[in-house]
Amino acid sequence: MHKSFFILAIETSCDDTSIALVKCGGSLKTPKFQAVANLVSSQIAVHRPFGGVVPNLAKREHLKNLPIILKKISKSYKLKTISYVAVTVGPGLEPALWTGVNFAKELARKLKKPLIGVNHMEGHIYSNWLSVQKNKKSVSLKKSTHYALRTTRPIRFPAIALIVSGGHTILLKMSGIAKWEKLGETLDDATGEAFDKVAKMLGLPYPGGPEIQKIALRGNAEAVKFPRPMLNQKNYNFSFSGLKTSVLYYLRDHKDSFDKQNFKADVAASFQQAVVDVLTGKTFRAAREFGVKSVMLSGGVSANKPLRDAMEEKAKELGIDFFAPEFEFIADNAGMIAAAAYIGILSKKKKLPIEAQSELTV
């Protein structure tokens, strides 16, 4: 039996400032996480005029927001009762990472608690195990709407994990909760980055993923035959830069249609469908090849409904369990960082140095 304890985690790798308090317990086979607080302060409005994240502005906002969020949490919870402080050390934007690292160092020193450095990508993987504690004491800055898909079924191994975010696209084969092998990754743009760049071409604001999904609802996904890069190659790597260029050329060649009704929606829907086909095709080819019991999706792009739906359907067809994070744990948040810290403690993972490591990999 593992006694449960609290981890206070800090996440500042990109443009979300987040602090979470998570009750962690259970074994590596059945870890249990309850996020009693998972506060996220989004900087979208600050970066939007620049069409993307500006690292020094992100740093300024993190510096401003971290003490505010911590104060909010300490009003409801005694920070003295926590057992560990955890912080994202990478990958991410270097100035942004340092603000979290320095804040966490100071806090751990004040509270006299050990500090754990966490890999952000591992946080995304473990976001699939998190749930919100539903009692009146839980604090949240964001309203959370839950996807019906989420259940408390245990995640069985072996499993395939696809992490799709603004900076990464990684496919892993997991033989256990803390054991994996990288099967492939993107050779150029990350999936979220491709969504953001295509959105920009269509005149949509940053971040582009949710905007593309929204306008694609009115479009025809078969209107434009965009390429499905690397779908039929026998490796597990991805490439989205060619697809993005195809959209650019298509828009250039159809300038006169730009303001026609449904033109943008058709392009968005067709682009989105190409991405969904590639991600689903390659993930489930791996799932079949390695005979896995589960497929799990995570990272910011896992908010994409057509992607979740396509993966869920394919999993059903093949008799594989499918998992995607609860809404609150999809985008960058500190709850997932606490979960990764706990798994790191139980699996006696090699400690990461407490310093910003912008290029850290899984």
* Chain contacts with ligand KG4 (rule: CB under 6 A): 14, 165-167, 192, 195-196, 207-210, 213, 299-301, 303-304, 331-332
Beta strands in 108-228 (DSSP E): 115-119, 130-132, 159-164, 169-176, 179-185
Considering beta carbons, is residue 211 or 266 the nearer one to ligand KG4? 211
The entry of Zn ion, ligand KG4, none near residue 295 (CB within 5 to 8 angstroms by kind) is none
Angle made by CA atoms 124, 68, 298, in degrees to the nearest 5: 10
CB of 234 to ligand KG4, least distance (A): 27
Considering beta carbons, is residue 217 or 318 the nearer one to ligand KG4? 217
Say whether the peptide bond before residue 207 is cis (omega within 30 degrees of 0).
yes
Q: Are strands 294-298 and 321-323 parallel, antiparallel or unpaired?
A: parallel
From the list 127, 120, 88, 91, the residue with the least C-alpha distance to 104 is: 88
Report the distance separating Cα 22 and Cα 264, nearest Å: 42
From the list 30, 10, 34, the residue with the least C-alpha distance to 22 is: 34
Write out the DSSP string of 272-293: HHHHHHHHHHHHHHHHHHTT-S
CB of 327 to Zn ion, least distance (A): 15
Considering beta carbons, is residue 275 or 292 the nearer one to ligand KG4? 275
Considering beta carbons, is residue 292 or 310 the nearer one to ligand KG4? 310
The entry of ligand KG4, Zn ion, none near residue 304 (CB within 5 to 8 angstroms by kind) is ligand KG4
CB of 279 to ligand KG4, least distance (A): 11
CB of 189 to Zn ion, least distance (A): 15
Considering beta carbons, is residue 208 or 335 the nearer one to ligand KG4? 208
CB of 232 to ligand KG4, least distance (A): 23
The entry of ligand KG4, Zn ion, none near residue 91 (CB within 5 to 8 angstroms by kind) is none
Q: Which residues lie near Zn ion (CB under 5 A)? A: 165, 332
Report the distance separating Cα 177 and Cα 126, nearest Å: 9
The entry of Zn ion, ligand KG4, none near residue 117 (CB within 5 to 8 angstroms by kind) is none
Question: Are the beta carbons of 247 and 278 closer than 8 angstroms?
Answer: no
Angle made by CA atoms 34, 39, 43, in degrees to the nearest 5: 145
Considering beta carbons, is residue 82 or 283 the nearer one to ligand KG4? 283
The entry of Zn ion, ligand KG4, none near residue 158 (CB within 5 to 8 angstroms by kind) is none
From the list 74, 71, 59, the residue with the least C-alpha distance to 17 is: 59
CB of 154 to ligand KG4, least distance (A): 24
